[in-house]
């Protein structure tokens, strides 16, 4: 088509040689093995067989030759058309072009191309040279050098008319591959007495039944996911046995749903009945209740006594009902109001993190956030919306044994214990890293997002902090002014210490300002 279209600078013509053989008709059409297998299943019949069948095929062959002449200007084209024409038989066009080649510019280009449908299409390329263009079925020359094109046209004339070796000889009944399909005629199935095996409202009824199956399936999948999550939390014994039993029930229900689904999609006429007869075993929802969300509170931890109770921790850190013993480095339970000032000094030292002497001269102490819950996985430390680090809450090769239990975990937030890796969250160090690098001025809450095996995330606040850090210009050495505020409620007896927003007493409230030369 591209080689044959005339334009303001070109003229062209196409010669067609067409042969049509008798039309073949399908007599007594009936479903073949594929059609028989799909009878009664309208959905799959339409997808596989369509809504019509090919009832007639017209065979034959076509041979196209085109010649296009491109001129250097519209004037040359007009001069050519005034004396010559490409209309008429192919041989007359050839004669006109041979005469024109003696009178027109050698810049005028001639393109001869051919296309064959049916017969032995490999023969058409024999008319052209053994080049890439020739193998594609066209040749190009100029009017001033028309010899190449003339040879192709002469060969084309012989090829189109020879009944012994040319195009017509390829269409005899014994020829291979012979004629090609030229025209297909499709006919609706009802012409052959084949009708869809459906009746009014069948599609609507099947769609409703399939929707019911879908809702059944979604519910069983939700059960399966929930059971797997609960099992992954590490249950054992009778609880694990019951959970595994429920999973077998769910697997059986899914198998029943799939069996009904197969009926609905392979034999739609039986779909509604299959869904109505479907019976699913009951799943014990009471066993699939997720454990309560994790809870947490701040407590003291010492190597000899381990994690203290919340009540004792609050007493020590608030100096309620304490006296200072004969050894000024010990804080023990008693009632001695006269020692209150000394006790407060002891508490202050502890609050500052210099907690040597909580229960003995040589024993260290730590402030621990004790998190209780099933399936604890990790705690992510945030300042506002910035993720700072993650802390694993499961046992590992490098974990401390007294930090992880079956249903609890410890995060150390303050300590004077020097063991490497013991301190999990150093709030002062994290603040310093933030204000030196990317947040010279900020205020907000440091908090932990605790994730459990069920994909739930629970937030526990650690401390409110506000700070600003700025360089002060001067004639001498540059100075840096730093101001910070720290507030927490770790030892608030009512809140558990994990909320630093909203009203309530602060159990630690400190403002510090420092100005240094750099």
Higher pLDDT, 103 or 117: 117
Mention every residue, 6+ apart, whose C-beta is less than 8 A from residue 444.
383, 384, 464, 465, 466
* pLDDT at position 449 over 80: yes
pLDDT tens sequence across 132-170: 655 555 667 776 677 777 778 888 888 888 888 888 888
* pLDDT at position 355 over 50: no
Q: Classify 110 in phi/psi space as left (phi over 0), alpha (psi -120 to 50) or beta.
A: beta
How confident is residue 344, by pLDDT bands cut at 50, 70 and 90? very low
User: Is residue 411 within 8 Å of 448, Cβ to Cβ?
Assistant: yes
* pLDDT score for 462: 95
For 148, list phi and psi in degrees, rounded to 5.
-60, -50
* pLDDT score for 413: 94
* pLDDT score for 251: 95
* pLDDT score for 434: 93
Burial grade of 497 (CB within 10 A; 0-12, 13-18, 19 or more): buried
* pLDDT at position 360 over 50: no
**% of the chain surpassing 90 pLDDT:** 32
Task: Please give the average per-residue pLDDT across 280-288, as a whole number.
Answer: 90
* pLDDT at position 397 over 60: yes
* pLDDT score for 364: 74
In 393-507 the beta strands, taken as DSSP E runs, fall at 408-415, 441-452, 457-472, 479-488
Q: How far is CA 312 from CA 69, 79, 294, 295, 358, in A?
A: 106, 115, 22, 18, 12
Tokens of 87: 């209309």
* pLDDT at position 468 over 50: yes
The residue with tokens 């507030």 is 487
* pLDDT at position 339 over 70: no
User: Is residue 242 within 8 Å of 286, Cβ to Cβ?
Assistant: no
Strand partners, 109: 70, 142
Higher pLDDT, 325 or 346: 346
* pLDDT score for 331: 47
Tokens of 300: 């003291």
* pLDDT at position 281 over 80: yes
Q: What is the mean pLDDT of the chain?
A: 82
Chain-centroid distance of CA 509 in Å reads 48
Higher pLDDT, 73 or 376: 376
How confident is residue 328, by pLDDT bands cut at 50, 70 and 90? very low
Burial grade of 144 (CB within 10 A; 0-12, 13-18, 19 or more): middle
The winner for highest mean pLDDT among 44-48, 305-309, 378-382 is: 378-382
Dist CA 138 CA 61 (whole Å): 20
* pLDDT at position 429 over 90: yes
Torsion on CA atoms 206, 210, 212, 216, rounded to nearest 10? 150
In Å, the largest CA–CA distance within the chain is: 134
Q: How far is CA 108 from CA 39, 121, 151, 152, 339, in A?
A: 64, 30, 18, 18, 119
How confident is residue 430, by pLDDT bands cut at 50, 70 and 90? very high
* pLDDT at position 58 over 60: yes
Residue 48: name the closest of 180, 189, 185 by CA: 189
Dist CA 173 CA 170 (whole Å): 9
* pLDDT score for 226: 86
* pLDDT score for 471: 79
Task: Please give the average per-residue pLDDT across 256-278, as a whole number.
Answer: 90
The residue with tokens 């797997």 is 228
How confident is residue 409, by pLDDT bands cut at 50, 70 and 90? very high
* pLDDT score for 197: 64
The winner for highest mean pLDDT among 59-73, 127-141, 451-465 is: 451-465
* pLDDT score for 349: 45
**% of the chain surpassing 70 pLDDT:** 83
Task: Please give the average per-residue pLDDT across 354-361, as a whole number.
Answer: 42
pLDDT tens sequence across 10-53: 888 888 888 888 899 988 888 889 988 887 777 778 778 888 99
Residue 65: name the closest of 180, 158, 179, 175 by CA: 158
């Amino acid at each position: 088509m591209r080689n044959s279209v005339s334009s303001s600078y070109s003229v062209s013509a196409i010669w067609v040689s067409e042969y049509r053989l008798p039309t073949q008709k399908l007599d007594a059409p009936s479903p073949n093995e594929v059609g028989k297998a799909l009878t009664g299943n309208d959905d799959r019949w339409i997808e596989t067989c369509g809504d019509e069948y090919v009832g007639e095929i017209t065979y034959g062959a076509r041979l196209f030759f085109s010649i296009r002449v491109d001129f250097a200007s519209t004037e040359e084209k007009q001069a050519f058309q005034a004396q010559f024409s490409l209309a008429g038989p192919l041989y007359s066009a050839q004669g006109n072009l041979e005469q024109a080649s003696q009178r027109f510019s050698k810049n005028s280009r001639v393109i001869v191309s051919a296309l064959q449908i049916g017969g032995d299409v490999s023969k058409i390329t024999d008319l052209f040279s053994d080049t890439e263009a020739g193998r594609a079925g066209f040749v190009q020359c100029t009017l001033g050098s028309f010899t190449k094109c003339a040879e192709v046209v002469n060969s084309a004339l012989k090829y189109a008319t020879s009944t012994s070796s040319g195009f017509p000889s390829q269409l005899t009944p014994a020829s291979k591959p012979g004629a090609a399909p030229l025209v297909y005629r499709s006919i609706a199935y009802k012409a052959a007495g084949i009708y869809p095996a459906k009746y009014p409202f069948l599609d609507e009824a099947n769609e409703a039944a399939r929707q019911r199956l879908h809702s059944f399936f979604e519910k069983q999948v939700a059960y399966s996911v929930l059971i797997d999550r609960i099992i992954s939390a590490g249950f054992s014994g009778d609880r694990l046995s019951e959970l595994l039993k429920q999973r077998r029930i769910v697997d059986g229900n899914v198998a029943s749903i799939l069996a009904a689904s197969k009926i609905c999609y392979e034999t739609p006429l039986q779909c509604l009945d299959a869904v109505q007869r479907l019976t699913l075993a009951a799943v014990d929802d009471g066993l699939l209740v997720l454990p309560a969300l994790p809870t947490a509170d701040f407590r003291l931890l010492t190597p000899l006594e381990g994690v203290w109770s919340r009540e004792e921790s609050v007493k020590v850190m608030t100096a309620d009902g304490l006296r200072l013993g004969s050894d000024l480095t010990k804080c023990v339970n008693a009632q001695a109001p006269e020692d209150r000032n000394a006790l407060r000094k002891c508490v202050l030292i502890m609050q500052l993190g210099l907690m040597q002497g909580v229960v003995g001269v040589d024993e260290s102490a730590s402030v621990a956030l004790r998190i209780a819950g099933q399936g604890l996985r990790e705690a992510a430390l945030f300042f506002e919306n910035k993720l700072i680090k993650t802390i694993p809450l499961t046992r590992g090769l490098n974990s401390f044994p007294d930090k992880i239990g079956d249903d609890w975990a410890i995060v150390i937030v303050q300590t004077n214990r020097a063991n490497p890796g013991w301190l999990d969250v150093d709030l002062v160090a994290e603040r310093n890293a933030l204000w030196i690098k990317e947040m010279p001025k900020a205020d907000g809450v440091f908090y932990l997002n605790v994730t459990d095996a069920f994909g739930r995330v629970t937030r526990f606040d650690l401390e409110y902090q506000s700070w600003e850090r700025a360089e002060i210009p001067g004639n001498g050495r540059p100075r840096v002014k730093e101001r910070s505020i720290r507030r927490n409620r770790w030892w608030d007896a009512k809140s558990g210490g994990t909320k630093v927003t909203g009203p309530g007493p602060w159990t630690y409230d400190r403002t510090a300002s420092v100005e240094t030369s750099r």
